[in-house]
Amino acid sequence: MSQASALSVSTREFLRQPNLVGSAFPASRYLVEALLDPIDWAKLRVVVEFGPGTGPLTRAILERMVPGSCLVAIDLSPHFTRHLQETIDDPRLLAVTASAESVVDILEEHALAQADMIVTGIPFSTMSADQGNRILDASADVLQGDGALLAYQMRSTIAPMLALRFGDVQCAYVWRNLPPCHLYWARRPLKHGD
C-alpha cells in the first residue's frame, strides 16, 4: 500500500469525524518503534488494537507477532476496517467494525477468552469521560493478569485513568511524530474487586 493512499484515507476520515479520529496523520515509524520495541513478542498469542486507522501499528504488530497468534483490530469506522482488509493479507488479522467498549463480547464471539496485550491510539481526550472509563474498565477486565495496555495519545487525559486501573504505568514522550505524542505502558491490570 502506498503512503499516499493511507494518507488520503486518514485525511478523509479526519475531516469527516475529527473528534473520533484525532489526527489526520498516520503514526510515524519513530512512534511505532518507541512504543512496540520494548515488548517481548514471543509470548503474546492474542493482541487487540483499538483504533487501527490505516494500520501503521497494525502492520508493525503483525511483523512482530509469532505464527499462530491473533491480532483483533477494532475500529468504529468501516472505512478504516475495509482499508485494512483490502491492504493487509495476513490470516492472523481480524478487523472488526465496532467500538472498543465491546471488546469483551468481540473476543467471546471469536472464542478468544482474554488478551495478552491491548494497543490503543483512540483519542481519550475528545471522548466523554464515561465512554473512556467504560473502555478502560473493559480493557482491564479482558487482559490476562500479566497483560499490558500500550497507548499513544496527543494529550495526557488518559494518565490518571490508567493509574486507577493498572498497578504499574510507565510513560515517555515522542517528538518525531505529527503531532508529538505521549506513550504509556500500563501493566498489572486491577480486576473488579482488587
Nearer to ligand SAM, 3 or 145 (CB): 3
Interaction of residue 57 with ligand SAM, rule CB under 6 A: yes
Q: Is the peptide bond before 179 cis (omega within 30 degrees of 0)?
A: yes
Dist. CA 53–CA 134, nearest whole Å: 21
Q: Which of 70, 71, 93, 122 binds ligand SAM (CB under 6 A)?
A: 122
Residue in the block written with cell 505502558? 185
Nearer to ligand SAM, 54 or 139 (CB): 54
CB of 161 to ligand SAM, least distance (A): 14
Interaction of residue 124 with ligand SAM, rule CB under 6 A: no
Nearest to 172 by CA among 163, 164, 181: 181
Query: Which residues, 6+ apart, have CB-to-CB distance to 157 below 8 Å?
Result: 124, 125, 132
Dist. CA 36–CA 82, nearest whole Å: 24
Phi, psi angle pair for 47, to nearest 5°: -120, 140
Residue count at the site for ligand SAM (CB under 6 A)? 24
Interaction of residue 112 with ligand SAM, rule CB under 6 A: no
Nearest to 170 by CA among 156, 157, 188, 183: 183
In DSSP terms, 151 is beta-bridged to: 120, 184
CB of 87 to ligand SAM, least distance (A): 12
Considering only the stretches 17-25, 85-93, 108-116, 161-169, report the one whose residues sit in contact with ligand SAM under the rule CB under 6 A.
17-25
Quote the cell numbers at residue 182: 505521549
Interaction of residue 54 with ligand SAM, rule CB under 6 A: yes
For residues 119 and 48, the answer to whether their CB atoms sit within 8 Å is yes
**Interactions with ligand SAM, residue window 131-190 (CB under 6 A):** none
CB of 193 to ligand SAM, least distance (A): 26
Query: Which residues, 6+ apart, have CB-to-CB distance to 91 below 8 Å?
Result: none
Interaction of residue 77 with ligand SAM, rule CB under 6 A: yes
Q: Which of 21, 62, 70, 142 binds ligand SAM (CB under 6 A)?
A: 21
Interaction of residue 24 with ligand SAM, rule CB under 6 A: no
Give the binding site for ligand SAM (CB under 6 A).
Answer: 10, 20-23, 26-27, 50-54, 56-57, 74-77, 80, 99-100, 121-123
